[in-house]
Amino acid sequence: MKFGPVPLDKSEGAILAHAVDAGERRLRKAHVLAKDDIDALRAAGVAEVIAAVLSPDDVGEDAAATRLAQALSFSGIEAKPAATGRVNLHATAAGVFKVDKAIVDAFNAVDPAVTIATLADLARVGDGQMVATVKIIPFAVPEEVVARAAAAVSGGAIFSVHAFRPHRVGMIQTVLPGLKASVLDKTVRITEARLVRSGSQLSGERRSAHDAAAVAAAIGAVAGDCDLVVVFGASAMCDPDDVIPAAIRMAGGEVLRAGMPVDPGNLLVLGRLADKPVLGAPGCARSPKENGFDWVLDRLVAGIDVAAADIAGMGVGGLLMEIPTRPQPREAANPALAARVYAVVLAAGRSSRMGGPNKLLALFDGRPLVRVTTERAMASRAAGTVVVTGHQADRVAASLAGLGVSLAANPHFAEGLSSSLKAGVAALPADAAGALVVLGDMPGVSVRDLDRLIEAFRAAGGTAIVRATHRGKRGNPVVLPRALFAEVATLEGDTGARHLVEAEGATVIDVEIGEAAFVDVDTPDAMARAGGVLQD
């Protein structure tokens, strides 16, 4: 391939390196010049272009990227069609990503023109998340480079996604004087939220005295009805013979490791009872913030064995805690505000499919639907609620009288859903870490459903997209992290959050909430089936 200035009379078939104007036409970068392009450029007074001219043995960027992606061996991952010299690879299910660094390094050492970039080894990924990309740097590469790069990855599986397998988790909490029941209750809620990402759930919870014999008895009692046991101690483990490791042995199990080089998470205990893992949770696992407990739990529920040596190897990258002298700590000054989620109820639509009546004013048990939805949002764990109004704004506002909810007027509601989403997000306070977007016409979504979405968002550190699903299909509501608020402001037309949810590279967590994720009342028939009564 030759790259540089090319006289116009020798440029047919060349690939433009930069956009160039040809009169009223603009030829974009990577455009392959045809005869009519050259005529237009000549008429515009252009004498030469900066372009790439391929040699007979060159392979175009898209063809090269496709061939190299096909040469890779992987599982739990799908390759997307090539574009601009790039093939993106996405997880086909939520799980844990594993990568062979040696094979990736061997590929990237072949030639700077061919590259693979991946997520970190053993990273948690969401369904559909991009995990790797094959990128060809120039417009084309020689055939022999493609052949050598393909040979470099022929030695085995380069990467894979181990899908989460729903587990039944038995939970034990020990009790000491002074430990409030509210702390134990909160630990249950946070653990349930942590399990959401893998589709797992608690099979039961037991509370016992903080002594080895009592904990051993509790382990034996719950182990028969679960796939994994988690023990939260009222007092942190401080020795390999402390209460939790001693209880695992007393129950007939084996302690594989007591302590890990991850902070927070140092005081984790890894054991096994027959074929079931037993985890002594560190105190930090009572918090939704990521810690060493998450690393071990995610791998176990993804079917990846965790041995003592695996934990010993977690030290590099294992410093997760904040250090007071760090100039820009990640944690907010008030930890309670670190993952504040505000509900945004979209109630501005014209109900065009109803043929006249406003569906949001239909009565459910004598109350307008929009009021029912708003009350549920206000009763959830959301820090506040904003209702976006537009069509029949006065009537919608009147139906919410007495709730004290914040209203955001959308004068552009006729332009489509995006205008309401933008108005709602723009009305959120500065401390909003996420926006729980709730459609006003979904009467089946409960307070508990909203709480599960919020807790899943918090358990993921407040940075992931969380969406409601049913049987693997995407639905509503959805939680959008603050990092996407700027992108919300760029949406146009009848486009909602789905465009952002499906954006490449976004981490997405799915929460199964049942049929409520799809049941809306857009038509009179749907309204009747849902039990609503339309008003004039």
Q: Residue 311 is encoded by which pair of tokens?
A: 């934990």
Cβ neighbours for 10, distance < 8 A, ≥ 6 positions apart: none
Q: Residue 264 is encoded by which pair of tokens?
A: 């927070």
Q: Given this model, what pLDDT does residue 268 score?
A: 97
φ, ψ for residue 190, nearest 5 deg:
-70, -40
Q: Which helix (H) or strand (E) holds 476?
A: strand 473-481
8 A C-beta contact, residue 125 and residue 164: no
Cβ neighbours for 112, distance < 8 A, ≥ 6 positions apart: 137
The single-letter code of the amino acid at 430 is: A
Q: Rounded mean pLDDT of the chain?
A: 89
Q: Where are the alpha helices (DSSP H) in 83-160?
A: 101-108, 143-152
Q: Residue 69 is encoded by which pair of tokens?
A: 């992606």
Q: Given this model, what pLDDT does residue 156 score?
A: 87
Cα of first residue to Cα of last residue in the chain, in angstroms, is 70
Cβ neighbours for 364, distance < 8 A, ≥ 6 positions apart: 372, 443, 530, 531, 532, 533
The single-letter code of the amino acid at 228 is: L
Give the Cα separation of 475 and 496 in Å (integer): 12
Q: Where are the alpha helices (DSSP H) in 332-416?
A: 369-379, 393-399
Which residue segments constitute the domains of the chain, with CATH numbers given? 2-53 (3.90.105), 58-163 (3.90.1170.30), 168-312 (3.40.980.10), 335-530 (3.90.550.10)
DSSP state of 412: T
8 A C-beta contact, residue 75 and residue 117: no
DSSP states along 170-200: EEEEEE-TT--HHHHHHHHHHHHHHHHTTT-
Cβ neighbours for 398, distance < 8 A, ≥ 6 positions apart: none
Q: Given this model, what pLDDT does residue 180 score?
A: 87
Low-confidence residues in the chain, pLDDT < 70: 321-338, 355, 494-506, 536
Give the Cα separation of 300 and 62 in Å (integer): 38
Q: Given this model, what pLDDT does residue 495 score?
A: 65
Q: Given this model, what pLDDT does residue 185 score?
A: 93
SS3 525: helix
Q: Given this model, what pLDDT does residue 53 score?
A: 84
8 A C-beta contact, residue 280 and residue 219: no
Q: In what order do the strands lie in the sheet with 130-136?
A: 77-79, 86-91, 130-136, 114-118
SS3 for 422-464 is HHHHHCCCCCCCEEEEEECCCCCCCHHHHHHHHHHHHHCCCCC
* Kind of pairing between the strands at 228-232 and 168-175: parallel
Give the Cα separation of 400 and 387 in Å (integer): 9
Q: Residue 232 is encoded by which pair of tokens?
A: 């939260």
Give the Cα separation of 335 and 155 in Å (integer): 48
pLDDT per residue as tens digits for the range 449-460? 999 999 999 988
Give the Cα separation of 191 and 275 in Å (integer): 22
Q: Residue 297 is encoded by which pair of tokens?
A: 């739990």
Tracing tokens 């040979």 back to the chain, one arrives at 151
Give the Cα separation of 425 and 434 in Å (integer): 9
The CA-based angle 347-351-352, given to 5 degrees, is 145
Cβ neighbours for 173, distance < 8 A, ≥ 6 positions apart: 184, 187, 188, 205, 206, 207, 208, 231, 232, 234
Q: Residue 1 is encoded by which pair of tokens?
A: 């391939």
Give the Cα separation of 31 and 37 in Å (integer): 10
The CA-based angle 506-512-514, given to 5 degrees, is 135
The single-letter code of the amino acid at 312 is: A
Q: Given this model, what pLDDT does residue 167 score?
A: 97
Q: Given this model, what pLDDT does residue 70 score?
A: 96
CA atoms within 13 A of residue 523's CA, in its CB half-sphere: 3
SS3 344: strand
CA atoms within 13 A of residue 86's CA, in its CB half-sphere: 9
Q: What is the pTM of this model?
A: 0.60
Give the Cα separation of 11 and 31 in Å (integer): 12
